[in-house]
Amino acid sequence: MPIVLDQTEARVLGSLVEKQLTTPEYYPLTLNSLNAACNQKSNRDPVMSLTETEVLGAIDSLREKNLVYTFHGSTSRTVKYKHVMPSVFELEPPAVAVITLLLLRGPQTVGELRGRAERLYEFGGLDEVQETLDELSRRDEPMVVRLERQPGQKDARYAHLLSGAIDAASLPTRERVTVASPSNERLDKIEQEVAALRSELDEFRTSFGEFRKQFE
């Protein structure tokens, strides 16, 4: 039976994969860091405002689907979260990058995927992106689908199928799609640093709590 993700599960999974590839020094992620990653205002479409309770619910569901598991480091008891998407779906790095972008930003053209994938995987060109999409769409259980071009759009977009079949009529029409600007990249970096500080604060609170118990 194919794995089907709801919108929150897709955002959580995509965020875990993205942060592993772009900020490995802060991975695995604490709940605070993961929640911040899911709610980023840059590089996300749609922008979401998930609560920690909603993220935890998605984590529990993803664990049942064997896509996410908890991690306890040797130096801290703070619970962190890791994904195993590539092994579950048998994905090579180019496919991981494409699926991650589609999970986080919705349907995109080949050119948009190529331009946004730099931090996830360095594609040699548009042909390699297209080849990756074609391979994903030709699977016994296809993971992506090509959408018909919208009025006023030059190129067709592609969407992931991890949330089930696509209802093209329900997708928003886009007059213009802009690739992330340098200002958005800076905002993304700031959000990552804030998430990392939250993670370190969580670990400090846990360690301090354990230290204080020794004197109670």
**Domains in the chain, start-ordered, CATH in brackets?**
7-211 (1.10.10.10)
Q: Which pTM was predicted?
A: 0.79
Return the closest-CA partner of residue 18 out of 115, 131, 102.
102
Beta bridge partners of 69: 82
* Percent of all residues in the chain with a pLDDT value above 70, rounded to a whole number: 75
Return the closest-CA partner of residue 40 out of 193, 208, 211.
193
Question: What pLDDT score does 189 carry?
Answer: 60
Q: What is the mean pLDDT of the chain?
A: 87
3-state secondary structure of 158: strand
85 close to 98: Cβ distance less than 8 angstroms:
no
Q: What is the pLDDT of residues 91-135, one digit of tens each?
A: 999 999 999 999 999 999 999 999 999 999 999 999 999 999 999
Return the structure tokens found at 192. Answer: 């990552």
Q: What is the pLDDT of residues 185-201, one digit of tens each?
A: 566 667 666 666 666 66
Return the structure tokens found at 202. Answer: 């969580």
DSSP E strand boundaries for 105-167 = 108-109, 144-146, 157-160
